[in-house]
């Protein structure tokens, strides 16, 4: 394997069209992370874990993830290939290592889609004015939501970009407007409350709770790398993909920190939130400040945010599957690698990603199912992120690293070291069992789920290991058809 060879993306894209510019790649990454999903998806978990001091968890994770984004920017510039984590890892540490990195990333994305669908299913009764769904109904509704997202993705890149732009506009306006209204006219807590766990001090529990909150927030700041998953569909990918990754993370971070602070300062009864008596602090805080009329529009906005995030995650998952299939290292690779329609996009891979997310949802009958999905997908992302970061660190230690068009200069090595340490810390933090009162299989649910996916991956890898070993670097395929539309 010639790891230093960089064939231009046009020589390896297998017929993919250049459908995304910097702006649309940024939009895809932005709506994947999504200020709605990043904040409201974990806000209750964060505040019940660490009280209002949980706000700092968002800042801590943002800084850690910016270090990772810096490393990824260099990798995406050097190897701007469809499949991102998978393609980077196999060029850094070998084909088998890359295969498992891609496998972890693929499943993290599909579980994230399932988690988003399950969360949407909890909000729909409020929007529709019906009673909360039971467990079975909630799973069935979540499957239906996944079908809708899959159909949207199956419509092709133009539909994806259009919905992403609409969602981005709605989310940014909604988040900033709501945050501004709460911050200016409805403050119920002093600013000093963000240094407290519930207005009562905290001592050692502050650190214990903050660690748990940091684990949950890890889910909020993944997705920036999705611009890399579609790299061969991006115009001037060596420059635009790194820009899209870093810019999307910075933009989301700013919106989330602002909106999160506004929400915390507007909470009318902090003890009720920390104790769990206030089941949905986001909605109830907004309702207390603005009245019942705001509840339904807020939930509609949340649903739009989650649908867009699911769409972007599924887009990334389908590109990882397609990248595997192009290299002929999955069963039915011939079908999965085919491109469809005038826009030449991986329809079979999209349908496969959607189907696997729906299969994951079939296990959703536990009361802790959403927590498990959040923790598992977060843990999976950090495993997938750590693999190329650790690999490039080893690469640097051996003196073999040569940058692409984007470089961090003399800061590259220390940033890579700290990013690797951050990812390992966060992974341990996420999987650490914190609920001894629960049955062992619930307390260790994340580790068990990760072990199951790893076992499934090892079983599949064993069948295709010879094909993995024979992979060329880089894969050869027909040149793409350039078709940037300026979106």
Q: Do 117 and 361 form a contact (C-beta atoms < 8 A)? A: yes
Helix 237-266, helix 55-78: angle, nearest 10: 180
Per-residue pLDDT of the chain (487 residues; tens, 9 = 90+): 444 444 444 444 456 788 899 999 999 999 998 888 888 778 888 888 888 999 999 999 999 999 999 999 999 999 999 999 999 999 999 999 999 999 999 999 999 999 899 989 988 888 888 888 888 899 999 999 999 999 999 998 888 889 998 888 888 888 888 899 999 989 999 999 998 876 434 444 455 678 888 888 887 898 899 999 999 999 999 999 999 999 999 999 999 999 999 999 999 988 888 887 887 888 888 888 888 777 788 788 888 888 999 999 999 999 999 999 999 999 999 999 999 877 788 999 999 999 999 999 987 766 667 777 777 888 889 999 999 999 999 999 998 899 889 898 889 999 999 999 999 998 888 888 767 777 777 778 778 888 989 999 999 999 999 999 988 544 434 334 444 444 4
**Which SS3 state, helix, strand or coil, does residue 73 take?**
helix
Q: Is 398 exposed, middle or buried (0-12, 13-18, 19+ CB in 10 A)?
A: exposed
Long-range Cβ contacts of 413-421 (<8 Å, 24+ apart): 415/67, 415/70, 415/71, 416/71, 416/389, 416/392, 417/393, 418/67, 419/64, 419/67, 419/68, 419/70, 419/71, 419/389, 420/386, 420/389, 420/390, 420/393
Q: Do 269 and 53 form a contact (C-beta atoms < 8 A)? A: no
Cis peptide bond N-terminal to 474, omega within 30: yes
Q: How far apart are CA 444 and CA 431, in angstroms?
A: 8
Q: How far apart are CA 207 and CA 214, in angstroms?
A: 10
CATH class of 19-469: mainly alpha
**For 353, phi and psi rounded to 5 degrees?**
-60, -45
How many CB atoms lie under 10 A from the CB of residue 479? 13
Q: Which residues have C-beta within 8 Å of that of residue 14, sequence separation ≥ 6?
A: 232, 326, 337, 339, 475, 477, 478, 480
Q: Which residues have C-beta within 8 Å of that of residue 326, sequence separation ≥ 6?
A: 14, 82, 333, 337, 475, 477
DSSP labels for 454-479?
HHHHHHHHHHHHHHHHT--SSPP-PP
């Amino acid at each position: 394997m010639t790891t230093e060879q960089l064939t231009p993306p046009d020589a390896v894209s297998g017929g993919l069209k250049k459908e995304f510019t910097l702006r649309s790649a940024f939009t895809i990454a932005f709506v994947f992370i999504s200020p709605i999903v990043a904040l409201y998806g974990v806000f209750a978990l964060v505040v019940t874990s660490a009280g209002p001091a949980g706000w700092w968890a968002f800042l801590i994770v943002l800084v850690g993830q910016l270090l990772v984004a810096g490393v990824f920017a260099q990798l995406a510039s050097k190897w701007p290939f469809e499949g991102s984590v998978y393609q980077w890892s196999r060029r850094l540490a070998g084909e088998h290592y890359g295969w498992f990195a891609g496998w972890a990333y693929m499943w993290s994305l599909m579980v994230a889609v399932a988690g988003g669908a399950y969360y949407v299913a909890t909000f729909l009764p409020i929007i529709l004015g019906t009673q909360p769904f039971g467990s079975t109904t909630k799973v069935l509704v979540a499957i239906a939501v996944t079908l809708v997202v899959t159909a949207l993705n199956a419509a092709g890149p133009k539909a994806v970009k259009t919905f992403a732009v609409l969602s981005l506009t709605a989310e940014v306006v909604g988040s900033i407007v709501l945050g501004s209204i709460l911050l200016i006219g409805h403050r119920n807590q002093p600013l000093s409350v963000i240094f407290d766990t519930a207005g009562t001090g905290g001592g050692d529990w502050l650190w214990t709770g903050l660690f748990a909150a940091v684990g949950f927030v890890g889910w909020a700041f993944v997705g920036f790398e999705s611009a890399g998953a579609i790299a061969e569909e991006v115009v001037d990918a060596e420059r635009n993909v790194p820009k899209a990754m870093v810019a999307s993370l910075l933009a989301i971070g700013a919106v989330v920190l602002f909106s999160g602070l506004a929400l915390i300062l507007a909470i009318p009864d902090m003890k009720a939130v920390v104790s769990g008596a206030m089941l949905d602090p986001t909605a109830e805080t907004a309702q207390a400040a603005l009245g019942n009329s705001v509840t339904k529009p807020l939930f509609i906005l949340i649903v739009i945010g989650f649908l867009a995030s699911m769409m972007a995650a599924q887009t990334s998952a389908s590109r990882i599957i397609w990248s595997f299939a192009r290299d002929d290292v999955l069963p039915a690779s011939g079908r999965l690698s085919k491109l469809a329609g005038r826009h030449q996009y991986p329809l079979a891979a999209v349908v496969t990603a959607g189907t696997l997310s729906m299969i994951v949802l079939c296990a959703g009958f536990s009361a802790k199912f959403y927590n498990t999905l959040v923790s598992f997908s977060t843990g999976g992302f950090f495993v997938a992120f750590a693999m190329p970061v650790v690999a490039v660190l080893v690469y640097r230690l051996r003196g073999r690293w040569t940058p692409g068009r984007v470089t961090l200069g003399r800061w590259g090595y220390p940033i890579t070291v700290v990013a690797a340490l951050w990812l390992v810390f966060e992974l341990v933090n996420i999987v650490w069992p914190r609920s001894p009162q629960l049955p062992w299989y619930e307390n260790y649910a994340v580790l068990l789920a990760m072990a199951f996916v790893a076992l499934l991956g090892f079983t599949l890898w064993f069948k295709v290991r010879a094909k993995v070993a024979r992979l060329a670097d880089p894969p050869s395929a027909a040149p793409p058809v350039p078709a940037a539309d300026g979106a």
